[in-house]
Amino acid sequence: MSKLKISEDWTSTIVGWFIIFLVVFQLKPHWPSFSWPDADALMNKVFTLDNVGHALIVFCFMFLMALIAGVLTGKKLKMIAASFPVVFFLTLLAMVVSGNKFLKEWGFETVIFSLLIGLFISNIFSIPRWLKESLSSELFVKIGLVLLGTSVLFDDLLKAGSLGLIQSCVVVFTVWNFCFWLCRKMKIDKEMSLMLSSAVSICGVSAAVATAGAIKGDKTKLSYVVSLVLVVAVPMILIMPGLAKLMGLPEDMAGAWIGGTIDTTGAVAATGAIYGEVALQTSTIVKFSQNVLLGIAAFLISIYWSYSKKEVTEEKPTLKVIWLRFPKFVLGFVAASLVFSFFVGPEIVADAKPILKHIQGMWFALAFMSIGLETDFKSLITSENRRSTYAFLGAQAFNVVFTLLVAWVLFGLIAPK
Read off the pLDDT of residues 172-204 as tens digits, 9 standing for 90 and up.
999 999 999 999 999 999 999 999 999 999 878
pLDDT of residue 226: 86
- List CB contacts of 153: < 8 A, sequence separation 6 or more: 292, 337, 340, 341, 349
Average pLDDT, rounded, for the chain: 85
Using the predicted structure, report yes or no on whether residue 9 has a pLDDT greater than 50.
yes
pLDDT higher for 317 or 161?
Answer: 161
Mean predicted confidence (pLDDT) in 24-33 = 88
The three-state (H, E, C) secondary structure of the chain, written as one string: CCCCCCCHHHHHHHHHHHHHHHHHCCCCCCCCCCCECCHHHHHHHHCCHHHHHHHHHHHHHHHHHHHHHHHHHCCCHHHHHHHHHHHHHHHHHHHHHHCEHHHHHCCCCHHHHHHHHHHHHHHHCCCCHHHHHCCCHHHHHHHHHHHHHHHCCCHHHHHHHHHHHHHHHHHHHHHHHHHHHHHHHCCCCHHHHHHHHHHHHHHCHHHHHHHHHHCCCCHHHHHHHHHHHHHHHHHHHHHHHHHHHHHCCCHHHHHHHHHHHCCCHHHHHHHHHHHCHHHHHHHHHHHHHHHHHHHHHHHHHHHHHHHHCCCCCCCCCCHHHHHHHCCCHHHHHHHHHHHHHHHCCHHHHHHHHHHHHHHHHHHHHHHHHHHHHCCCHHHHCCHHHHHHHHHHHHHHHHHHHHHHHHHHHHHHHHCCC
Using the predicted structure, report yes or no on whether residue 168 has a pLDDT greater than 80.
yes
pLDDT higher for 323 or 97?
Answer: 97
Using the predicted structure, report yes or no on whether residue 327 has a pLDDT greater than 80.
no
- At 251-278, the pLDDT tens digits run 889 988 998 898 776 678 777 877 887 8
Using the predicted structure, report yes or no on whether residue 339 has a pLDDT greater than 80.
yes
In this structure, of 109-123, 292-306, 354-368, the range with the lowest mean pLDDT score is 292-306
pLDDT of residue 384: 74
Quickly state the pLDDT bin for 311 (edges 50, 70, 90): very low
| CA nearest to 295, candidates 256, 331, 327 | 331
Quickly state the pLDDT bin for 127 (edges 50, 70, 90): confident
pLDDT of residue 320: 66
pLDDT above 70: percentage of residues in the chain: 92
Chain CA centroid to CA 297, Å: 14
Quickly state the pLDDT bin for 313 (edges 50, 70, 90): very low
- At 201-233, the pLDDT tens digits run 987 888 888 888 888 888 888 888 988 887 787
Using the predicted structure, report yes or no on whether residue 159 has a pLDDT greater than 70.
no
pTM: 0.79
Using the predicted structure, report yes or no on whether residue 1 has a pLDDT greater than 60.
no
- At 61-105, the pLDDT tens digits run 999 999 999 999 988 888 899 999 999 999 999 999 999 988 887
pLDDT of residue 167: 87
pLDDT of residue 317: 54
Using the predicted structure, report yes or no on whether residue 310 has a pLDDT greater than 60.
no
